[in-house]
Amino acid sequence: MKGFRDWILSQLVAKSVVLSRPLSGGDSFFSVERSTNEVITDQGASDSTTLVAPPVLDETSNSLNRDQENQSSPSPQDVEVENSDQSHSGPDMRKKDPLVKIDDLQAKFLQLLRQLGLSKDNLMVAKVLYRIHLATVIRAEKSDLKGVNLGGDGNRVMTAEQAGPPNLDFSLRILVLGKTGVGKSATINSIFDQTKAVTNAFRPGTKHIREVVGTVNGIRVTVIDTPGFLPGVCTGNLRRNKKIMLSVKRFIRKSPPDIVLFFERLDLIDTSYSDLPLLKLITEVFGRAIWFSTILVMTHSSSALPDGPDGYPVSYEVHARRSTDMVQHYIHQAVSDSRLENPVLLVENHSHCKTNIMGEKILPNGQVWKSQFLLLCICTKVLGDVNSLLKFNDSIELGPPAATYVPSLPHLLSSLLRHPIVPSGVENEVDESLFSDMEEEDEYDQLPAIRILTKAQFERLTKSQKTDYLNELDYRETLYLKKQLKEEYRRQMESKLSNEKNSASDDNSESQQAAPEEAILLPDMEIPLSFGSNHPAHRYRCLVASDQWIVRPVLDPQGWDNDVGFDGISLESAAHINRELFTSVMGQISKDKQDFSIQSECAASYTNSRGTVHSVGLDVQSAGKDTIYTFHSNKKRANQKKLWEDVFDGGVSLTSFRNKYYFGAKLEETVSIGKRLKFLMNAGQMMNASKLIVDREQVAYGGSVEATLRGRDYPVRNDFVTLTMSILSFNKEMVLGGNVRSESRLGRNLKVSVNANLNSRRMGKLSIKTSSSDHLPFGLVAAFTIFWTLLWRKGIANSNNESGETEVGEAESGETG
């Protein structure tokens, strides 16, 4: 069960990685008018922009592998993609091949930057180039196009850069949205450097939707000015806002914009920001995809800075970052997806705004905001064009994650083989058998008394005396822990016996009603520091009143504030109904306005007089909008011999996920020789049971053999070495794997755990974890691990092997004090 959950999580994470990679598209917003095969027309829209910042890519490093045809070229028409007629005038291949068109678009992008005097070394530019590259690689992998330049061509880029006089056949179509009075019309005027739109300081200035057309640095810019939305959450205002939005939607239906500017005032954003209903309304009316092409514009960007907690004004960067983060956070809430990252543009429209020697308005941080505006708009449009050319538009959607994956049979099988399917309480009893042979005299009580030294006394000892002293303490600690475990075991056995006696005699049932146990306060949960000034003083405290039920609130670590951090409840209970019957329930439910998720495991087990345990259970868990149900049944029989104990375990499971059923079965035999040596063998199969006729290709087989050697002081100290060999076969393919795990205490202060595995596909992983309370060994181990990893890597590079993934050297070091 646990394994399957891990798998679901890994799939969801994988999805988010995928989402952060391509340039993403969306559902409905701008894609209405576009014919899929066509190159971007003048009204072609981009429905995407950046999500998560990717690593910067140096575009000049990807200049290989270009086909002949592309090397001859670039006339200005060749780099033309804006106008579909002109792009068709190129060679035949150019018409058909989207990758070539992307290449052209990239060249054009760089040419534009050069002609606008924008730096190519800008981080934003690097991001765009990286995304173009990534999108192309993803597409190229799917098609069988070979020999296409996937990363931009040095020649082409250079030629584009050397191109003659400006020929900027590039246009931008921009929609502005925001509350009334935030400065939409004033920004339009600033962009065109002339009064093209009416502004008003005291009442709503723009009454109707209006297109303002002009040229900025040689680029044709069309801005759609819209009436501002009314603030507040009263229904009248929301109704009016919806009316405005619907009319804007109608207006842009025929010619959708490339970019949306969403306006806020930087000087008015504080913790009381309350525009979530407005953001939700925008999302509802225009669709989530609108946010893919939205730039956040913060006007009044050179207003006085607010005071920080120390009484001094906060720095400009901190203030801007904090305010935009807050708006971004509410956008995340509105779209129910926190992966979106909108570009931010800081703007100042005041006529007395500082200017540089060229007369351009500059922000307090020295940035010329207009060139930043052009850069962001061009980047957003280019990315949108790449998306539509490569048809990424429908592949990724914003919104709460939905599991669109089907579990793989090998994965289900290996999780079935790895995890026991017995209620947890029953397992404990098996573990308890380890103490049963610890009947020998308590060694700890036999020890002579020892005098505990003070720090000063300890310092006076010689080095060898110090070591002897510490070793003695360590030895005594081990014996003391052993004694405690034994006592705990005895206590459990006694309470079990007395319970049995009590249940046998009915008449004294009154007297056994002991006084109610005193409730214990569980320690407070760590909650993230609150950002708001009205930090809630109340806390959720948890009381444990009895052993039977443990109920706790679940803290969402991603929660925005303490108020909303708790949105779930977890519940645990385990009970012996009678001597034979044991039940356990474990569950966790989370619920907020949009999502509901549940994870629960219920199991019941019956132990017969010969010690055979039969158990059944049902696990329920949410995966996105779906729910996975797993039913399992199991039989476990322990056989105590003189020299060894063997435990036989057989089980079946049925998993249901989206009208698909997976049936699994496993057999397992565990032989323990003494306390320290354990062998385990298991075998199982998993099949897709949705079809009536079982397809051989829909069955996975697997098994493993494992040997474990435990340390001398087990179970007090958990030192062990485990060797595992496993085999998994699915779809005529077979994978053999080996795994070594060990955990040991090297000396008093150093703990090392090693995990290494390798399979027949030459994939493997080595992980070493160390923890130490001494600085010296800790440092040495870390240095050794790094050195060894480097050596290993060098070895791989030298041997220049054939391809094969090898994940090496995941070394983690931690220090415990």
Ligand X SMILES: Nc1nc2c(ncn2[C@@H]2O[C@H](COP(=O)(O)OP(=O)(O)OP(=O)(O)O)[C@@H](O)[C@H]2O)c(=O)[nH]1
- Spell out, one character per residue from 440 to 479, where the chain touches ligand X: x when CB under 6 A holds, - when not: ----------------------------------------
Cβ atoms 140, 395 nearer than 8 A: no
Selected from 43, 155, 171, 199, the binder of ligand X by CB under 6 A is: 199
Selected from 324, 349, 393, 670, the binder of ligand X by CB under 6 A is: 349
Q: What is the number of residues in the chain?
A: 817
Instruction: Report 501-520 residues binding ligand X (CB under 6 A).
Output: none
Min separation Cβ 343 and Mg ion, Å: 22
Q: How many whole angstroms separate alpha carbon 444 and alpha carbon 477?
A: 9
* DSSP letter for each residue of 26-62: -SSTTGGG--TTSPP-TT--------SPPPP--GGG-
Using CB under 5 A as the binding criterion, the count of chain residues that bind Mg ion stands at: 4
Cβ atoms 393, 33 nearer than 8 A: no
**Under rule CB under 6 A, residue 348 binds ligand X:** yes
Selected from 206, 241, 294, 380, the binder of ligand X by CB under 6 A is: 206
Selected from 240, 329, 350, 745, the binder of ligand X by CB under 6 A is: 350
Q: Which partner, ligand X, Mg ion, none, binds residue 300 by CB below 5 to 8 Å per kind?
A: ligand X
Nearer to ligand X, 81 or 221 (CB): 221
Residue 231 sits at φ, ψ, to 5 deg, of -75, 170
Span of 132-140, 200-208, 514-522, 801-809 interacting with ligand X by CB under 6 A = 200-208
Other CB atoms within 10 Å distance of the CB of residue 719: 18
Q: How many whole angstroms separate alpha carbon 339 and alpha carbon 139?
A: 22
Nearer to ligand X, 304 or 529 (CB): 304
Selected from 44, 74, 151, 227, the binder of ligand X by CB under 6 A is: 227
Residue 249 sits at φ, ψ, to 5 deg, of -60, -40
Min separation Cβ 267 and ligand X, Å: 8
**Under rule CB under 6 A, residue 224 binds ligand X:** no
Nearer to ligand X, 87 or 185 (CB): 185
Cβ atoms 691, 719 nearer than 8 A: no
- Spell out, one character per residue from 153 to 182, where the chain touches ligand X: x when CB under 6 A holds, - when not: -------------------------x-xxx
Min separation Cβ 114 and Mg ion, Å: 34
Q: Is the peptide bond before 715 cis (omega within 30 degrees of 0)?
A: yes
State the residue number with the nearest CB to ligand X.
228
Name the E strands within 392-539. Answer: 520-521
Min separation Cβ 182 and ligand X, Å: 4
The vertex-83 CA angle with 222 and 19, nearest 5°, equals 75
Cβ atoms 348, 369 nearer than 8 A: yes
Q: Which partner, ligand X, Mg ion, none, binds residue 586 by CB below 5 to 8 Å per kind?
A: none
> Contacts by 305-308 with C-beta closer than 8 Å and gap 24+?
306/270
Nearer to ligand X, 78 or 275 (CB): 275
Distances (CA, A) of 807 to 752, 782, 811: 20, 18, 11
**Under rule CB under 5 A, residue 349 binds Mg ion:** no
Q: Which partner, ligand X, Mg ion, none, binds residue 44 by CB below 5 to 8 Å per kind?
A: none
Selected from 26, 74, 205, 343, the binder of Mg ion by CB under 5 A is: 205
Distances (CA, A) of 541 to 516, 519, 557, 586, 656: 20, 12, 17, 20, 37
Selected from 204, 306, 747, 795, the binder of ligand X by CB under 6 A is: 204
Q: Which partner, Mg ion, ligand X, none, binds residue 320 by CB below 5 to 8 Å per kind?
A: none
Nearer to ligand X, 222 or 785 (CB): 222
Q: Which partner, ligand X, Mg ion, none, binds residue 632 by CB below 5 to 8 Å per kind?
A: none
Burial 195-225 (b: 16+ CB within 10 A, else e): ebbebeeeeebbeebbebeeebeebebbbbb
- Of residues 190, 176, 178, 282, the one with CA closest to residue 222: 176
The vertex-788 CA angle with 785 and 789, nearest 5°, equals 85
Using CB under 6 A as the binding criterion, the count of chain residues that bind ligand X stands at: 22
Nearer to Mg ion, 43 or 199 (CB): 199
Min separation Cβ 391 and Mg ion, Å: 37
Cβ atoms 567, 527 nearer than 8 A: no
Nearer to Mg ion, 184 or 666 (CB): 184
Instruction: Report 173-202 residues binding Mg ion (CB under 5 A).
Output: 184-185
Min separation Cβ 166 and Mg ion, Å: 32
Q: How many whole angstroms separate alpha carbon 94 and alpha carbon 83?
A: 14
- Spell out, one character per residue from 265 to 304, where the chain touches ligand X: x when CB under 6 A holds, - when not: ----------------------------------xx----
Q: How many whole angstroms separate alpha carbon 630 and alpha carbon 407?
A: 13
Min separation Cβ 272 and ligand X, Å: 20
**Under rule CB under 6 A, residue 364 binds ligand X:** no
Min separation Cβ 345 and ligand X, Å: 12
Contacts of 357 (CB under 8 A, 6+ apart): none
Other CB atoms within 10 Å distance of the CB of residue 104: 25
Selected from 28, 75, 200, 356, the binder of ligand X by CB under 6 A is: 200
In whole angstroms, what separates CA 718 from the centre of its chain?
A: 32
Other CB atoms within 10 Å distance of the CB of residue 25: 26
Q: Which partner, Mg ion, ligand X, none, binds residue 186 by CB below 5 to 8 Å per kind?
A: ligand X
Other CB atoms within 10 Å distance of the CB of residue 305: 17
Cβ atoms 321, 368 nearer than 8 A: no
Selected from 45, 186, 224, 383, the binder of ligand X by CB under 6 A is: 186
**Under rule CB under 6 A, residue 228 binds ligand X:** yes
Cβ atoms 417, 703 nearer than 8 A: yes
Nearer to ligand X, 200 or 315 (CB): 200
Burial 638-662 (b: 16+ CB within 10 A, else e): beeeeeebebebbbbbebbbeeeeb
Nearer to Mg ion, 22 or 205 (CB): 205
Binding site for ligand X (CB under 6 A): 178, 180-186, 199-201, 204-206, 227-228, 299-300, 347-350
Binding site for Mg ion (CB under 5 A): 184-185, 205-206
